[in-house]
Structure 1
Amino acid sequence: MAYIIGVILLIIALIITGLILRKRVYDVVDRYEAWKMDILGRNIAGELSRIKELNLSGETQAKFESWKERWDQIVTKELPDIEEHLFDAEEAADRYRFSKAKKTLNETEKVLVSIEADIEKILKEVDDLMESEESGRKEAEEINPAIKSLRKNLSQQRYQYGKAESYFDERIDLLEEKLLGYNDEIKSGNYYQAKRLIDELRVNLTELEERMEEFPEIYKKCKHELPSQLHDLFAGLKEMKEDGYRVDHLAFEKEIRTYQEGLSDSLEKLDKGDASQAKEIMPEIEERIQEMYGLLEKEALAKNYLENQIPGYKKSIHKIDQSFDDTRAEVEELQKAYYIEDSDMERFISLDKAIAKLKAELEELENDMGDNGVSHSELREKIEQGFSQVKELERAHEGFKLRIQNLRKDELEAKAKLTEIRNELYHTQRKLKKSNVPGVPNFIWDSLENASFKNEMVLTALEKQPLDMNEVQQALGEAENAVKHMVEQTDVMLDQAYLTEQVIQYANRYRSQYPLLASKLTEAERLFRSYEYELSLEHAAKAVEEIEPGALKRIEEYQKAAMN
C-alpha cells in the first residue's frame, strides 16, 4: 500500500514539475512574442523616408537601398520565422520536450538580438548621414563668404604681399576648387565624402587666414624695417670708428652682413609664400640689434668716462704714492728708536707692493690708451677696479699710520704710568716711616723690594734702543701688579696693628679682674712687639670677646669712624 502511495505522489510531483516548466516556456514565448511585435510596430520606414530629402544617388542611394533591403528582410522573413519558432517551442513544451523548447527559444533570442543590433545600426547611420549633410551645408555656407573675403583683402592689399600675392591667389583658387568639389559630391549624393572635403577645407581655410594675417607684418619687417635698422647700425658703427671709438673688437660688421644675407634669403622664400625662415630669424635679429646698440652705447659711455676720470685716477695714485713716501721715511726714522712688530712690517711691505702694482697698472693703462686693440669698456673696468683698490689702500694706509703713531703715544703713556706707580710706591714707603708701629714685618719689606725691582725693569725696558713697546707693556703690567699687591699688604698690616693696639688698650680695663685675660694680653703684647700683628690681634680679640662679647665689632666701628 505504501508503495502505491509513493508512486502516486511521484506521479503528482512529476505532473506539477511539468506544469511549472511548461508555464516558464509559455512566459518566455509571450515575452519574445511581445518583443517581436514591438519591432514590427516601429516606424523604421518613416526614418528611412528622411533620406528622400537628399539626393538619392551615388553613395546615398546605395546606403538607402541596403537599409531598406535589410528592413524588408526583417519584416518579411525573420519576424515570420520567429513566429514559427515560438509556435514550435510551445508545441514542444506541450509534449514535455523542454530541452528542445529551450534550444528553440535560445536561437530565437539570438535572432531578436541580431535584429535589434541591425536596426540600431541603420538608425545611427541614417542620423549620421543627415547630420553630415546638415553640418557640411552649414560649413559650406560659412566658408564660401570667408573665401570671398580673403580674395577681396588680397586684392585690396596686394602691395603688402609683394610677389607672394600670386602664391596666395593660387591658394585661394585651391580653396574654391575644393568648395566646388564639395558641391559636386553633394549633387552626386556622396555626403560622407562631401563632409570629409568640407572638414579638410575648413582646416585649409583657417591655416591660410592665419598665414595671410601675419604675412604683411613679417614681409614689412623682413623687406624694410630690419634691413633699414641693420643699415643704420652699420653706418653708426662706421661713424663711431671715425670718431675714435674702439669697436673693432666687437666684430659687428661681419655679423651684420650675415644677418643681411639671412634676410635676403628669407625674402626670397617670402616671395614664394614661405614665412617659416623669416619667422625663425627675425626675433634673433631684433634681439641682437638691441644688444649691439647696448654694447655700442656702453663703449661710448666708457670713452666719455675715461676722458673724465683718467686725470683724477692719475692724481689719486700720485697722491697715495707721495703719502706713502712720507710714511716710508717715518718708518725708517721710527725703526731707529722703536722695535716695530713683524705683523706691522708685513702690512707696510704689503702696502708698498700694492702701491707699486697700482703704478705699474697705471703705466700699462696709459699704454693701452694708445692701443686701438683694447676697448674703452675694458679700460673703464680697469679704472673702476683701480679706484676701488685706491680707496682700500687709503683705508689700510691710514690704519697703518695710526698704528705707528701710537708707538710714541704708547711710550709717553707708559712713562706717565711708571711715574704714577713710582709715586704710589714712594707714598707707601712714607706711610710706613710715619706709622707708630713697633716695626715692619719682613714680608712687607720683601714685597716693597719686589715692587721696586719691577719698576726698575720698566725703566730698563724704556731705555732700550730700539724700544720694544710689547716688552715695555709687559714690564709695566708686572710692576703695576707688584705695587698694587705691596700697597694692599701694607694697608692690611697697618690696619691690623692699629686695631690690635685699640683692642689691648680696651682690654686693659679687665686685666686686674681676670688673671687668665691678663695672661692672654701679655702674649698678645709680646706678639705685637715681634711685628706679628695678625696673630697678636687674634689673641687679643679672643681674650676680650670671652669677657665682653661684641666688643671687637664696636672697637672696629670706632676705629673706622676715627680714620674717616
Structure 2
Amino acid sequence: MIYFIIPLIIVIVLTVVAFLSRKKHLEEISKMEQEKLQIQNKPIFEEMMKVKQLNMTGETEDMFERWRNTWTEVIDERLPKVDLLLLDAESQVDRFRFKKATETEKQIVETLEQCEREMRDLLQELNELIGSEEKNRVEMEKIKETHRAARKRILAHQYSFGPAVEPLEKVWEAFNPRFEQYDALIESGNYLQAREIVIALAEKEEHFTYLLEEIPTLLTELQTKIPAALRELRKGIIEMEGQAYYLGHLKLPARFDKIEQQLVNLRQLLARLDVEEVAHDVEEIHDEIESFYDVLEEEVSSRHYVEEHWEPTLDLFEELQYSISDTIEELKFVQQSYRLDEEESQIPHYGMQKLNTLAKRVEEYIERQERHESAYSERQIELQGIAEELDAIADEQTKFSNRIKNLRIDENMVRSRLIALSQQLHIADRNLHRANIPGVPDEMEIQLEEADEQIFIVKQSLEEVPLNMALVESYVQKASAVVEDVCDKADDMVENALLVERIIQYGNRYRASHPHVHEKLLQAEESFMQYRYLRALEEAATAVEEVEPGAMKKIQSTLHQKV
C-alpha cells in the first residue's frame, strides 16, 4: 500500500502544480492582451490630425510623416506580431510547455513596451509642437506689444535717457530682424525653431525693459542728485571754515573733484548701456557722500564737546595745582606728629610731577586752540586724554588727603580702644581674684600678664614722635586678640568652678548609698583644690551622671537662672 500511495500523492501534487501554473500563465496572457488592445485603441491618428491646423510645411510636415510612419508600423506590423505570439503562448500553456511559454511572454512584453514607448514619445512631440505654436503666438504678441510701448516711451521721454537714446534705439531696431525671422519660420511650419527665437527675444525684451527703467534713474543721480549733494557739501565746508572749523586734514575738495570726474566717466558708460557697472558705482558714491556728512557731523559734535569740557578741565588743572601744593605743605606738619612710609609720603610730590608734565600738553593744546590749525575731532581726543589723567591724579590726591586727615581720628580711636581693653582686662582679673575659688592657676596668671604687656606695648607706641599709626594699629589688633582670649578663659574658669561646687553639693546625697560616687567626688574635690577646675568638673559630672542621668543639665539650668 505504501508503494502505491506515495506515487499517487506525487502525481496529484504535480497535477495541482501544473494546473496552477497554467492558470497563472493564462492570467498573464490575458493581461498582455488587454495591454495590446489599449495600445491598439488609442486615438493616435485623431491626435495627429490636430497638426493639420498648422502650416503643413517644412519641419511640421517632416514630423507628421515620421509620426504617421511610426504609428502605422505599430498598428500594421508589431501588434499583429503580438497577436501571433499570444496564440503561441496559449498553445504552449495548453500543452503545459511552461518554459517555452515564459520565453514567448517575454517577447510579448518587450514588444508591447516598445510600442508603448514609441506611442508616448510620439504624443509628447505632438503636444510639444502644438503647444509651441500656441505659446509662440501668445508670447510673441506680448513681446511685440512691449516692444511698441518701449518705442513710444523712448520717443516721448528722450530727455530722460540723455546720451543713451541713440544706443537704445539701435537695440530696439535689432529686434526687427528677429521678428521677421520668426514670421518666416512660422510660415514654413518650423514651430520649434520659432520657439527658440521667442525665448531669446523674451530675455532680450526683459533686459531692454530693465534698461528703460534704470537709465532715467541713474541719469538723474549722475546729473542732478549727486552734483547737488556735492554742491551742498562744498557750501557747508565754506560755512564751517568761516566758523573757525579746521577741515584741511579731511581733503574733501580733492575728493569732490575726483567724484565729479567719475560722474563724467559714468555718463559715458551709461551711453554704452553698461547699467550694472554704473549702478554699482553710484551706490558706492552715495556711501562715500554719507561718510562725508558723517565726518562733518563728527567735527560739529567734537566742537560741542570741546566747548563744553575745556573750561571745566582747565579749572580742574588749576585747582589741582593749588590743592597739591597745599597738601605738600600740610604733609610737612603732619610728618612732625605722624610717621608715613616713604612711598606714601611721596604721593603728593609724584602728583605734582605728573601735573607739571601735563602742563606742557595743556600749553600746546591752548596754542592749537588759538591758531585754529587742528580739527575739533583731534582736539576732543587730546582733551579727553588730558581730562582722564587729571581725574586719575585728583582721585589719587583725594585718597591721600583723606588719609592724612584721618590720622588724628585714627589715633583717638586707638586711645579709646586701649582704655576699653585695659578696663576689660582689669574686670577679668578682679573677677578671678574675688571669686570664691581656691586660687588662680599659674598659666592663667601668665596669660593675664601677657595681655597686660600687650596693652603696655600699645601705650609705648602711642608715645613715639612722630607716631607710626600703621605700627600702632597692628599692636592694637594683637592686644585686642590677646585680651579677648584671656577674658573669655577667665569667665569660663569662674563658671566651671561654680558649677563644680554645685555638682559636688548635689552629689553629696549619693555619698552614703553609693560608695563609688563618694570616691569620685573626693577625686573631684582634690582636683578642685589644686586649681584644676576643668578636670574637677569632668570627674564630678561623671560621678553624678552615673547614678542620675540628666542631672548635669538640671544643675546647669539652675546655676544659669541664679546668675
Question: What is the TM-score of this pair, normalised by structure 1?
Answer: 0.72
SS at match of 1:52: helix
Residue identity matched to 2:403 = R
CA deviation profile, 1:329-350 (whole Å, cap 9, x unmatched): 1112222221113553364455
Question: How much does 1:148 deviate?
Answer: 1.7
Q: Shift in Å at residue 212 of structure 1?
A: 1.3
Paired residue for 1:157? Answer: 157
Contact residue 147 and residue 176 of structure 1 kept, 8 A: no
* CA 1:383–1:26: 2 relative to 1, 3 Å: closer
- 1:181 maps to what in 2? 181
Q: Distance in 1 between matches of 2:446 and 2:22?
A: 143
Indicate conservation of the 8 Å contact 1:186/1:194, yes or no: yes
Please provide the CA RMSD for this pair. Answer: 5.4
Q: Is this contact kept in 1: 2:29–2:90, CA < 8 A? A: no
Cα drift, residue 237 of structure 1: 2.4
Equivalent residue for 1:326? 326
Going from structure 1 to structure 2, the CA distance change for 1:26 and 1:438 (only over 3 Å counts) comes to: closer
Structure 2 counterparts to residues 137-536 of structure 1, below 5 A: 137-342=137-342, 344-345=344-345, 347-348=347-348, 350-370=350-370, 374-418=374-418, 454-476=454-476
Report the Cα distance in structure 1 between the residues aligned to 2:360 and 2:488, rounded to whole angstroms.
Answer: 63
Structure 1 residues 435 and 267, CA, compared in 2 at 3 Å: closer, same or farther? closer
The AA in structure 2 aligned to 1:267 is R
Tell me if structure 1 keeps the 8 A contact 2:164–2:273.
Answer: yes
Q: How far apart in 1 are the matches of 2:144 and 2:48?
A: 31
Unaligned runs of 5+ in 1: 1-17, 502-527
**Could you tell me how far 1:266 is from its partner in structure 2?**
0.8
Residues 231/532 of structure 1: CA separation in 2 closer, same or farther (3 Å cut) = same
Distance 1:234 1:35 in 2: 86
Letter of the 1:292 counterpart: F
Q: Compared with structure 1, are the counterparts of its residues 347 and 57 closer, same or farther at alpha carbon in structure 2 (3 Å cutoff)? A: same
Going from structure 1 to structure 2, the CA distance change for 1:50 and 1:433 (only over 3 Å counts) comes to closer
| CA distance in 2 between partners of 1:143 and 1:108 (Å) | 51
Query: 1:250: Cα distance to partner?
Result: 1.6
- TM-aligned CA distance change 1:137 to 1:487, over 3 Å: closer
Identity, % of aligned pairs? Answer: 24
CA distance in 2, matches of 1:217, 1:89: 80
Q: How far apart, CA to CA, are the structure 2 residues paired with 1:111 and 1:276?
A: 58
Counterpart amino acid of residue 271 in structure 1: A
In 1, are the aligned partners of 2:167 and 2:273 still within 8 Å (CA)? yes
1:23-38 aligned at under 5 Å gives the runs none
Deviation at 1:53, TM superposition (A): 0.7
Q: How far has the Cα of 1:239 moved from its partner? A: 3.9
**Counterpart residue type for residue 286 of structure 1:** H
Separation in 2 of the partners of 1:455 and 1:91? 132
Deviates more, 1:193-202 or 1:83-92: 83-92
Compute the displacement of 1:296 (Å): 0.9
Change (3 A) 1:371 1:21: same
Secondary structure at the aligned position of 2:174 is classed as helix
Give me the whole-angstrom Cα distance separating, in 1, the residues matched to 2:82 and 2:432.
Answer: 152
Output one character per residue of 1:186-224: Cα deviation in whole Å (capped at 9) or x when no partner.
111111111111111111112211221222111111221
For 1:374 and 1:295, how far apart are their aligned partners in 2?
14
Write out per-residue CA displacement over residues 420-455 of structure 1, whole angstroms, 9 at most, x where no aligned residue: 566778899999999999999998987787666555
Helix, strand or coil at the partner of 1:189: coil
Q: Shift in Å at residue 271 of structure 1?
A: 2.0
Q: Distance in 2 between matches of 1:251 and 1:356?
A: 36
2: CA distance between counterparts of 1:340 and 1:383?
35
Q: Name the TM-score, length of structure 2 as normaliser.
A: 0.72
Whether contact under 8 Å (1:302, 1:380) holds in the other structure is yes
Structure 2 equivalent of residue 509 of structure 1: none
Structure 2 spans left out of the alignment, 5+ residues? 1-17, 502-527, 545-550
**Do 1:451 and 1:479's aligned partners in 2 also have CA atoms closer than 8 Å?**
yes
Aligned length, in residue pairs: 507
Q: Which amino acid aligns with 2:81?
A: I
Distance 1:256 1:173 in 2: 39
- Residues 75/468 of structure 1: CA separation in 2 closer, same or farther (3 Å cut): closer
Residues 324/114 of structure 1: CA separation in 2 closer, same or farther (3 Å cut): same
CA deviation digits over 1:230-278, x for unaligned, max 9? 2322333244334431212122233222222222111111123221221
